[in-house]
Amino acid sequence: HLKAYFILTLILILAAAGIQLGFSSLLEKDYLIHSAGSLWWRLVLVVVFTWLALIAVVVTSSVAALYAGSPGGTIAVSVVAGFVLQLAAGWEPLRVFLLPTYLSAPLAQFVAMSKGLPVPDDWGDLTRTCLLGSVIWIIVGWLWGAWLVRRKEVLN
């Protein structure tokens, strides 16, 4: 059921974006800035990267839950960690390693692209950064969580 929910959500997001933004080719005085296909493909990338980054957030929050031991503690740790990571993302050398970048950079890139503005990053670099960064956060969080579960002898 979870897969069906995800697919339905993805279809609804893409349909809503298509209706709101139109997604015809972006032209300026008969000069093609971005084709409709390019805009749609980038929107799909944004959704996938956001989905991966959210999985990374959930996995790392579960590690916080194992340490905190209570829902309230987990929420407090997650909120404070998110705030600190958002502040740290303002420092350019550190930005490519932090989860807030993987959540916000693809959308900011797509918004600039859909308005015909210069894009902040190259799509290839952004794809590598978001894909690798999210996967690394997921793997590290998963391994750290598994280690904590074994150490604390938490049973299924």
pLDDT, tens digit, 9 for 90 and up, residues 90-135: 888 888 888 888 888 888 888 888 777 777 788 888 899 999 999 9
Does 17 have pLDDT greater than 90? no
Q: What is the pLDDT of residue 25?
A: 66
User: Is residue 29 within a helix (H) or strand (E), and if so which, with residue range?
Assistant: none
Burial label for 133, CB within 10 Å (0-12, 13-18, 19+), is buried
Pair 120, 111: CB distance under 8 Å? no
Does 155 have pLDDT greater than 60? no
- Provide the phi-psi class of 19: left if phi over 0, else alpha when psi is between -120 and 50, else beta: alpha
pTM: 0.75
Phi, psi of 153, deg, nearest 5: 55, 45
- State the Cα–Cα distance between residues 118 and 120, nearest whole angstrom: 6
Burial label for 12, CB within 10 Å (0-12, 13-18, 19+), is exposed
Q: What is the pLDDT of residue 45?
A: 87
- State the Cα–Cα distance between residues 138 and 130, nearest whole angstrom: 12
Does 156 have pLDDT greater than 60? no
Q: What is the pLDDT of residue 27?
A: 63
- State the Cα–Cα distance between residues 26 and 116, nearest whole angstrom: 7
Average pLDDT, the chain: 81
Phi, psi of 31, deg, nearest 5: -100, 120
Phi, psi of 25, deg, nearest 5: -60, 140
